[in-house]
Amino acid sequence: MNRMLYGGAVAFFSFIALSGCSKPAGEKVGSVDLVTTTDTVSYLIGIDIARSLREVKDDIVLDIVFAGVRDRLAGSERRFPPEAERVIMEAFSMQMQQKQMAKSETEAAKNLKEAKDFLEENGKKPGVVTTESGLQYIVLKEGDGPIPPDSSKVKVHYEGTLLNGKVFDSSIRRGEPSIFTTHQVIAGWTEALKLMKVGSKFKLFVPPDLAYGRRGMAHDIRPNMLLIFEIELLGIEK
């Protein structure tokens, strides 16, 4: 847990300790009554801090956190000198990083196996074409326009989903086509666009190594995830 996170947690618990007092029964939220504006703000700050603490929730004891807050607010003698506190928190931060790396490795291996298993079965289905790179696609509509030359700028409509069906990106839902050059996208797209005539619509099944690979991308696209896209090539821009 870094200094900013630690500082935010302390600020939150200090706020609760200073503003909390006995209230008459009011609106019930979970195990607390929200009566005043301070109650509500305190609760919302708690929700916000909880998001920051989610990754370390199994490695801290909230009762002891409160004990530390109370000791500090009461002016009790410090149990550790400032330098020792820094060393302890840096060691804890390193421990959390190692734990997260191990979790990420497990997740990446699981996603890679799911991708391979899916592609193996999907490649047997009628209409699915598998290229030498491992990209799979289905021609949903064959266009009659030109094929984009290398590094050309194209206009497309698309929707991207995960294996579980969740949509993670969609120009269709935004109601506005996307324009980009063919070499500025993931390798699976670059390869597919060189197979498409303007007016075509393809469904792509992009292996992890032709998508975002081990690193993943943003929140939804985890390490080694296979991605599915429907892409319609609307035109080639000048």
> Among all residues, which ones are annotated catalytic?
158, 168-169, 186, 212, 229
138: which strand partners? Answer: 203
What are the start-end ranges of the E strands in the chain? 27-29, 32-34, 129-130, 136-141, 153-161, 167-170, 178-181, 201-206, 227-237
Contact 180, 154 (CB under 8 A): yes
Which secondary structure element, helix H or strand E, spans residue 63, and what is its range? helix 62-73
Contacts of residue 70, Cβ cutoff 8 Å, sequence gap at least 6 = 17
Question: What DSSP character marks residue 54?
Answer: G
**Contact at 8 Å (CB) between 84 and 92?**
no
Sequence-ordered list of residues with C-beta below 8 angstroms from that of 7, at least 6 positions apart, any chain: none
Buried (b) or exposed (e) across 164-187, using 16+ Cβ within 10 A? eeeeebebeeeeeeeeeebeebbb
- Does residue 53 contact residue 13 with C-beta atoms inside 8 Å? no
